[in-house]
């Protein structure tokens, strides 16, 4: 039996923009269906929001996303992530982790995701990996990028 895991991100109206951004970084194709595509009248607020979307790239990267229906949206505080005495302190329930085989390939992804992001830990050599970095992208998603170590 084979099992795979795909990160599914929830947005408040920015899912389409986020999916297009991730496609620009990782490559692949974007697939999007809106609430209107599933029968919501076009004049209803939120009809153009993403009810299902994903990016699938040949390099193995896949991410899914949707916009939380407008009636369920609430103001949420910005996530807290900071560096303190060698430890990353955060209130986020998850990070998205991307691991590649070479510093060169992962650095390209880092540079793409870093556009408009808040860097938590700069991408570079780490005691446990040839390179590691952490950032929170412009959509509030925290990413860990690293290079697989040869143990």
The predicted-structure confidence for 99-116, as pLDDT tens digits, reads as follows 899 999 999 999 999 999
Q: Would you call 26 helix, strand, or coil by DSSP?
A: helix
Per-residue confidence (pLDDT) for residue 86, from 0 to 100: 45
For residues 41 and 90, what is the distance between their CA atoms, to the nearest angstrom? 40
Domains of the chain: 7-70 (3.30.720.100), 81-147 (3.30.720.110)
Q: Measuring CA to CA, which residue among 35, 63, 59 is closest to residue 47?
A: 35
For residues 29 and 57, what is the distance between their CA atoms, to the nearest angstrom? 6
Residue 127 is given by DSSP the state T
For residues 2 and 79, what is the distance between their CA atoms, to the nearest angstrom? 34
Per-position pLDDT tens, the chain of length 151: 455 678 999 888 999 999 999 999 999 999 999 989 988 899 988 899 998 999 999 999 999 998 887 765 555 545 555 554 444 555 565 789 898 999 999 999 999 999 999 998 999 998 888 999 999 999 999 898 999 888 6
Sequence-separated (6 or more) residues with CB below 8 Å from residue 122? 133
Q: Would you call 31 helix, strand, or coil by DSSP?
A: strand
Pairing of strands 29-34, 142-147: unpaired
For residues 19 and 85, what is the distance between their CA atoms, to the nearest angstrom? 34
């Amino acid at each position: 039996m084979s099992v795979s895991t795909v990160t599914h991100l929830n947005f408040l109206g920015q899912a389409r923009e986020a999916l297009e951004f991730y496609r620009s970084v990782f490559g692949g194709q974007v697939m999007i269906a809106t609430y209107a595509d599933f029968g919501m009248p076009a004049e209803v607020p939120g009809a153009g929001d993403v009810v299902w979307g994903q990016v699938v790239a040949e390099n193995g990267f896949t991410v899914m996303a949707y916009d939380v229906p407008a009636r369920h949206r609430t103001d949420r505080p910005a996530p807290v992530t900071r560096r303190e005495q060698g430890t990353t302190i955060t209130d986020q329930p998850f990070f998205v982790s991307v691991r590649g085989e070479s510093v060169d390939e992962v650095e390209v992804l880092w540079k793409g995701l870093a556009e408009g992001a808040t860097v938590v830990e700069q991408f570079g050599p780490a005691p446990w990996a040839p390179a590691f970095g952490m950032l929170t992208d412009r959509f509030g998603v925290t990413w860990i990028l690293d290079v697989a170590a040869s143990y």
